[in-house]
Amino acid sequence: MPTTLAGPPNACCWTGIKHTGTPEGRTEPLGGLETYISEPPANAASEPHKKVLLFLADAYGPLFINNKLLQDYFASQGTSFAVGLIVLGPDYFFGVPVQNLPPDRDKVAWSLEARAAAIEVFPMWFEEVKATYGYCFGAPFVLDMAAEGSIAAGAIAHPGFLEESHFQKLNKDDFAFSLEARRRAEDILVSNKSTYFFQVFSGVSHGFAVRGDPNVPHARWAKEESARGITEWFFRFAA
């Protein structure tokens, strides 16, 4: 039996603070899924390097305001590294993320059903992205693509649905979960001589990197520092 390091979502995955702001991206069909697309600022249009960042959202989906703002943040950072960064967030929840479920819906059962549907549709979406042009729920996709060499770098925050095998297949990349699971994951990455980077924040709960309370100074700092760290990790491989 495979050893689970990050299990299915639970109560901590359904809570958090809704942020405020004005998204700058747009939503359009791509590869069979509605996709949030956030492009570089206008002054980055002439940058010589164009890269694509795949934003594989948590249970709230890429069209949730917090996730839209986070995608916009990543897209805006490329200018500092002479890279034009296009961020793509596929809605593998088909318009029904966790916050849109009926109150009496079993959310754990929903997450398992949603995962099965996402696993089926994601490869087709990814092929379309490659022909045309990584948080909790999306973590397995990020590690699978990293193991296949389909992406230059990957990052996950407060992941779910991870087995030891997801790390054993890696020979490069990144992460953060329970203390014991994280240590086991790091043991595997060290054994495989992988290139990796951990961020660990005290005093915050699962989901902080997307749904932390911006009115709590430490929670806001952890969220912003997580985004900064992920950005710099990606751009190490974006040249």
Is 206 among the residues known to form the active site? yes
Closest C-alpha to 59, from 26, 32, 27, 91 = 91
Q: Which entry of 19, 158, 166, 206 is annotated as an active-site residue?
A: 206
Contact status, residue 227 vs residue 209, Cβ threshold 8 Å? yes
Neighbours of 42 (CB within 10 A): 7
Contact status, residue 82 vs residue 235, Cβ threshold 8 Å? no
Compute the distance between CA of residue 140 and CA of residue 7 in angstroms, rounded to an integer.
11
Compute the distance between CA of residue 198 and CA of residue 126 in angstroms, rounded to an integer.
26
Please list, in sequence order, all residues whose beta carbon lies within 8 angstroms of the beta carbon of residue 118, skipping any fewer than 6 positions away. Answer: 92, 93, 137, 141
Compute the distance between CA of residue 69 and CA of residue 38 in angstroms, rounded to an integer.
9
Q: Which entry of 58, 72, 91, 174 is annotated as an active-site residue?
A: 174
Compute the distance between CA of residue 36 and CA of residue 26 in angstroms, rounded to an integer.
6
Is 174 among the residues known to form the active site? yes
The partner residues of 52 in beta bridges, in order of sequence, read 86
Q: Which entry of 19, 136, 144, 173 is annotated as an active-site residue?
A: 136
Is 187 among the residues known to form the active site? no
Compute the distance between CA of residue 76 and CA of residue 86 in angstroms, rounded to an integer.
9
Compute the distance between CA of residue 239 and CA of residue 230 in angstroms, rounded to an integer.
16
Closest C-alpha to 50, from 24, 81, 16, 19 = 81
Catalytic residues: 136, 174, 206
